[in-house]
Chain A
Amino acid sequence: GAVVSQHPSWVICKSGTSVKIECRSLDFQATTMFWYRQFPKQSLMLMATSNEGSKATYEQGVEKDKFLINHASLTLSTLTVTSAHPEDSSFYICSARDGRTDTQYFGPGTRLTVL
C-alpha cells in the first residue's frame, strides 16, 4: 500500500518555542493532506485540511495562527506549532489522500511534548 512518513517521530521542546512537523507521501501524489490530533486513549480529531497550493481549511475551534499549515508540493505538508505550550502536547498524525483510490493513508504520528 501507499506510504506516508512523518518527521520527527517524537519531539520535546520548551514552552514558547515553535515546532515543525513534516508529512510526506512517498509513492504517490497527494493534493490533499489532513492533520489530526489525538489525545491519550481518545479518537483522532481533524484539525485541518491541507490543499496543495492553497490555504488550509481549519476545523472549528482550531487556531490557524497557532497551527500553521503549509502544503508546498504534492508530496509534502508541514504543520508548525507556534509558541507551544504544555497543553499542545499530543500525538499529531497526518494523512494523505490517494486520489486514485479515494483512500487516506496515515503517517506513523509525531509525539510532541512541551515542557
Chain B
Amino acid sequence: AQSVTQLDSQVPVFEEAPVELRCNYSSSVSVYLFWYVQYPNQGLQLLLKYLSGSTLVKGINGFEAEFNKSQTSFHLRKPSVHISDTAEYFCAVTHTGTASKLTFGTGTRLQVTL
C-alpha cells in the first residue's frame, strides 16, 4: 500500500516571497509522483510530475519540485509567489506500471496575501 502525507494544511505567505509545500510518501515499490492545483469549484490541474530521470522537475506557473528518494519526499517550491497562486495543492502518488490509481494527500491551502 502507498500513502501520501502533506504535513501543512495551510501555508500563509506574502506576495513575492518564496514558498515550499511539503509532501512525503510511503511505498514499498517504485512510484510516480505528481502535484496538482485546484482552484475553487474547479477540477485539478497538473502542475508537474516525476516519472524518472532528473530529480528536479520543473512545472507550469514557475513551480518546481525535487524528488528525494532517501527522504521519500517530493516538496513543491516557487521562488516568488503571486496572489493568483492562492489555491489548494495536492500531492499524489501512484505505483509505476499500474493503471495510475492515484493516492492523494490531504492537500495544502496556499494563501498568498499582499
Contact = CB atoms under 8 A, between A and B. Distances in A.
B102 A109 contact: no
B101 A43 contact: no
A44 interface: yes
Contacts, number: 55
Size band of the A side of the interface? 20 to 34
Contacts of B80: none
Q: Is chain A's binding surface mostly helix, strand, loop or mixed? A: strand
Contacts of B42: 108-109
B41 to A, nearest CB: 7
A89 interface: no
A32 B102 contact: no
Interface of A: 1, 4, 6, 32, 34, 42-44, 46, 49, 51, 91, 93, 95, 97, 102-109, 111
